[in-house]
Amino acid sequence: MKTKLEDVKSAAGIIGQSEAFNSALEIAVKIAATDSHVLIMGEAGTEKQQFAKFIHLLSKRASNRMIEFDCNGIHTYSAEVELFGHEKGVVKGAKSYSQSGFIERADTGSLFLESVGQLSSDNIKLIKKVMIDGSIQRIGADMAEKIDTRVFLDIELDNRGKPVLPNLKKQFANMNVTEIVIPPLRERLEDIPQYFSKQLSPGAYERLHNYDWPGNVKQLRTSLGMFNHTADTLHAEDFILLPLDHFLDPYIALPEPEQGFSMPDFLIKVKKQLMLRAISNAELNLSEAARMLGVSAKTVRKFWADQTKL
């Protein structure tokens, strides 16, 4: 017989029984017993939204809805309109009506803000006010109103387990928030077979377990090729796995800023190396090197003249 926890996992759409996954679930269960706001942290593709739904469905708010809002690529003013709503006549194109925002519509329930790091600092300040004192003010309203919305914030981590936007997490320090970190798929490879309704052949199992999964569960869910699988078993060739360098962060090799680090000195060294590399690749054709670098030929010639004097 299924337990309530298994039913909620199924309803939330999360899969896994590995030690790393169960540790995260245990934390999620504890968070669900509270009514604090939550920082849900994890790499891209770790399905933070599903964990938010899991916590919501286990909480006292389960009978009310959880609303999701994607902050990615939205303008500051548009985000404020969508999240906080507006009164009649204050928003262009909406002169004849007022409208509640996503935060207000999630009253007595929960709101999951996906890619919250894409919001402007002004938007985040307004969201923090909602989280601190439970007040919301529509655009054009004369006064704020009380609201009871639990907020889940999507905080993206890099492959070192650090926030992609370090300052974002710091902005929610000393507030009524709890944290949960969703493990990347490479730390729970034993969960992979559970994502497929068919059996995995030994070759498929080995191929999927030897891959690093930079795109995490989101990538796994789309890795099965678009074939007509009439057989009961999936084979290695049935999966499409992109080369790992497709996912590489171009800035991963940058040094960590710390005490004693000098950005001006570092940039001087980087500029020198790029200049030398371009001149070498252009086989000492300084005009061609300038085109490669996107700078003037005069800049490259001056640099090269200085180098040849040494």
Confidence of residue 141 (pLDDT cuts 50, 70, 90): confident
Confidence of residue 227 (pLDDT cuts 50, 70, 90): low
Can you point out the beta strands (E) in 74-160?
Answer: 110-114, 135-136, 145-146, 150-156
Look at residues 138, 155, 183 and tell me which one is the last residue of a structural domain. 183
Q: How much is the pLDDT for 1?
A: 42
Task: Residue 222: give its domain's CATH number.
Answer: 1.10.8
Tokens of 294: 């996107």
Task: Kindly report, residue by residue over 254-299, the tens digit of the pLDDT.
Answer: 677 777 778 887 788 788 888 888 887 888 899 998 998 999 999 9
Say if CB 50 and CB 14 are below 8 A apart.
yes
Which range (7-16, 72-81, 204-213) has the least confidence?
72-81
Q: Are residues 17 and 141 in the same domain?
A: yes
Mean pLDDT over residues 19-25, rounded? 96
Say if CB 111 and CB 69 are below 8 A apart.
yes
**Higher-confidence position of 217 and 305:** 217
Mean pLDDT over residues 209-225, rounded? 90
Q: Are residues 54 and 196 in the same domain?
A: no
Q: Are residues 145 and 206 in the same domain?
A: no
Residue with tokens 């770790």: 46
Can you point out the beta strands (E) in 49-134?
Answer: 66-70, 110-114
Burial zone of 100 (CB within 10 Å; 0-12 exposed, 13-18 middle, 19+ buried) = middle
* pLDDT exceeds cutoff 60 at 253: no
* pLDDT exceeds cutoff 70 at 182: yes
How confident is the prediction for the chain on average, in pLDDT?
87
Q: Are residues 147 and 286 in the same domain?
A: no
Round to whole Å and give the CA distance between 157 and 25: 18
Look at residues 158, 183, 208 and tell me which one is the last residue of a structural domain. 183
Q: Residue 225 domain-assigned?
A: yes
Mean pLDDT over residues 90-97, rounded? 67
Q: Are residues 44 and 161 in the same domain?
A: yes
Q: Residue 251 domain-assigned?
A: no
121-133 vs 76-84: helix crossing angle, rounded to 10: 20
Q: Residue 292 domain-assigned?
A: yes
- C-alpha torsion angle, residues 23, 25, 26, 29 (rounded to 10): 160
Q: How much is the pLDDT for 224?
A: 82
Task: Residue 97: give its domain's CATH number.
Answer: 3.40.50.300
Q: Are residues 168 and 25 in the same domain?
A: yes
Instruction: Give strand pairing partners of 151.
Output: 111
Q: Residue 256 domain-assigned?
A: no
Q: Are residues 110 and 204 in the same domain?
A: no
Domains of the chain: total: 3
Say if CB 151 and CB 102 are below 8 A apart.
no
Round to whole Å and give the CA distance between 130 and 180: 21
Q: Residue 252 domain-assigned?
A: no
* pLDDT exceeds cutoff 80 at 243: no
Q: Are residues 20 and 157 in the same domain?
A: yes
Q: Are residues 295 and 196 in the same domain?
A: no
Look at residues 183, 199, 226 and tell me which one is the last residue of a structural domain. 183
Domain carrying residue 203? 188-246
Q: Are residues 213 and 178 in the same domain?
A: no
Q: What is the DSSP string of 287-299?
A: HHHHHHHTS-HHH
Q: Residue 211 domain-assigned?
A: yes
pTM exceeds cut of 0.85: no
Mean pLDDT over residues 223-245, rounded? 77
Q: Residue 255 domain-assigned?
A: no
Q: Residue 257 domain-assigned?
A: no
Q: How much is the pLDDT for 4?
A: 84
Q: Are residues 31 and 166 in the same domain?
A: yes
Q: Are residues 63 and 169 in the same domain?
A: yes
Task: Residue 280: give its domain's CATH number.
Answer: 1.10.10
**Higher-confidence position of 24 and 310:** 24
